[in-house]
Chain A
Amino acid sequence: MQTTSPQGMAQGMAQGMAQGMVYGVILNDRPTLDRLGPALSQPPYGAPPKAPILYIKPYNTHVGNGATVRLPRGAERVEVAATLGLVIGRDATALDEATATDAVAGLRPILDVSLPNPSVYRPPVRERCFDGSCPMGGTLPYAAVAGPEALTLRTLVNGTLAAERSLSDLVRPPARLLAEVTGFMTLRAGDILHLGIALNGPQAGAGDRVRLEIDGFAPLDIAIEDAAAEGETP
Chain B
Amino acid sequence: MKRARILLDGTVHAAVEEEGRLRLSDGRLVALDGDGPETVTWLPPVEPRTIFALGLNYADHAKELAFKAPETPLVFLKGPNTITGHQASTRRPADATFMHYECELAVVIGRTARDVPRDRAYEVVAGYSVANDYAIRDYLENYYRPNLRVKNRDGCTPLGPWLVDAADVPDPMNLSLRTLVNGRVTQEGSTRDMIFDVPHLIAYLSSIMTLSPGDVILTGTPEGLADVVPGDTVTTEIEGIGSLVNHIVPDSITANR
Spell out A's residues near B (CB within 8 Å): 1-4, 6, 8-10, 12-13, 16-17, 21, 23, 26-27, 44-47, 49-56, 58-61, 72-73, 93-94, 120-126, 129-131, 183-188, 191, 230-231
Q: Are B50 and A59 in contact (CB under 8 A)?
A: yes
Q: Binary interface profile of B, 125-144, with partner A (CB < 8 Å = 1, else 0)? A: 00000000000000101111
- Distance between Cα atoms of A50 and B162 in the complex (Å): 38
Residues of chain A within 8 A of B79, CB atoms compared: 21, 23, 56, 185, 191
B49 in complex: contacting residue of A27, A59, A184, CB < 8 Å: A59
- Can you offer 15 A-B residue contacts whose CB atoms are under 8 A? A2-B113, A13-B49, A23-B79, A52-B149, A58-B49, A72-B208, A94-B253, A121-B143, A121-B145, A124-B144, A130-B209, A183-B254, A185-B81, A186-B154, A231-B115
What's the least CB distance linking A74 to chain B, in Å?
10
Residues of chain A within 8 A of B47, CB atoms compared: 17
Given contacts A9-B111, A129-B77, 12 further A-B contacts (CB under 8 A): A3-B112, A6-B213, A12-B112, A12-B213, A23-B148, A45-B142, A45-B143, A54-B148, A56-B77, A123-B75, A184-B254, A187-B81
B114 in complex: contacting residue of A2, A125, A186, CB < 8 Å: A2
Q: Are B144 and A16 in contact (CB under 8 A)?
A: no
Q: Are B75 and A125 in contact (CB under 8 A)?
A: yes
Q: Are A125 and B49 in contact (CB under 8 A)?
A: no
Which of B218-238 touch A at CB < 8 Å?
none
Q: Are A183 and B81 in contact (CB under 8 A)?
A: no
Q: Select from chain B the residue with minimum beta-carbon distance to A126.
A: B208
Q: Are A123 and B77 in contact (CB under 8 A)?
A: yes
A13 in complex: contacting residue of B81, B117, B120, B212, CB < 8 Å: B212
Residues of chain A within 8 A of B154, CB atoms compared: 93, 185-186
Q: Are A49 and B49 in contact (CB under 8 A)?
A: no
Let me know if B80 is at the binding interface, CB within 8 A: yes
Q: Select from chain A the residue with minimum beta-carbon distance to B207.
A: A73
Q: Are B212 and A93 in contact (CB under 8 A)?
A: no
Task: Knowing A8-B112, A13-B214, A21-B79 are in contact, say whether A46-B117 is a contact too (CB < 8 A).
Answer: no
What's the least CB distance linking B19 to chain A, in Å?
28
Residues of chain B within 8 A of A2, CB atoms compared: 112-115
What's the least CB distance linking A88 to chain B, in Å?
12
Q: Are B141 and A50 in contact (CB under 8 A)?
A: yes
Spell out B's residues near A (CB within 8 Å): 47, 49-50, 52, 74-82, 110-117, 120, 123-124, 139, 141-149, 152-154, 206-210, 212-214, 253-254, 257
- Distance between Cα atoms of A54 and B153 in the complex (Å): 12
Residues of chain B within 8 A of A12, CB atoms compared: 112, 212-213
B77 in complex: contacting residue of A44, A47, A58, A93, CB < 8 Å: A58
What's the least CB distance linking A41 to chain B, in Å?
11
Task: Knowing A54-B152, A188-B80 are in contact, say whether A3-B124 is a contact too (CB < 8 A).
Answer: yes
Q: Are A21 and B80 in contact (CB under 8 A)?
A: yes
Task: Knowing A13-B49, A13-B214 are in contact, say whether A1-B208 is a contact too (CB < 8 A).
Answer: no
B144 in complex: contacting residue of A10, A122, A185, CB < 8 Å: A122
Q: Are B80 and A53 in contact (CB under 8 A)?
A: no
- Distance between Cα atoms of A109 and B147 in the complex (Å): 25
Residues of chain B within 8 A of A8, CB atoms compared: 112
Q: Are B147 and A60 in contact (CB under 8 A)?
A: no
- Distance between Cα atoms of A50 and B79 in the complex (Å): 21
A49 in complex: contacting residue of B76, B141, B152, CB < 8 Å: B141
Q: Select from chain B the residue with minimum beta-carbon distance to A46.
A: B142
Residues of chain B within 8 A of A51, CB atoms compared: 139, 141, 147, 149
What's the least CB distance linking B46 to chain A, in Å?
10
Q: Are B149 and A184 in contact (CB under 8 A)?
A: yes
Residues of chain B within 8 A of A122, CB atoms compared: 74, 144-145
Q: Are A123 and B141 in contact (CB under 8 A)?
A: no
Q: Are B213 and A13 in contact (CB under 8 A)?
A: yes
Q: Are A184 and B153 in contact (CB under 8 A)?
A: yes
A16 in complex: contacting residue of B49, B115, B120, CB < 8 Å: B49
Q: Select from chain A the residue with minimum beta-carbon distance to B152.
A: A185
Residues of chain B within 8 A of A130, CB atoms compared: 208-209
Q: Select from chain A the residue with minimum beta-carbon distance to B155.
A: A186
Task: Knowing A16-B214, A125-B77 are in contact, say whether A131-B149 is a contact too (CB < 8 A).
Answer: no
Residues of chain B within 8 A of A16, CB atoms compared: 49, 212, 214
Q: Are B113 and A3 in contact (CB under 8 A)?
A: yes
Residues of chain B within 8 A of A121, CB atoms compared: 142-145
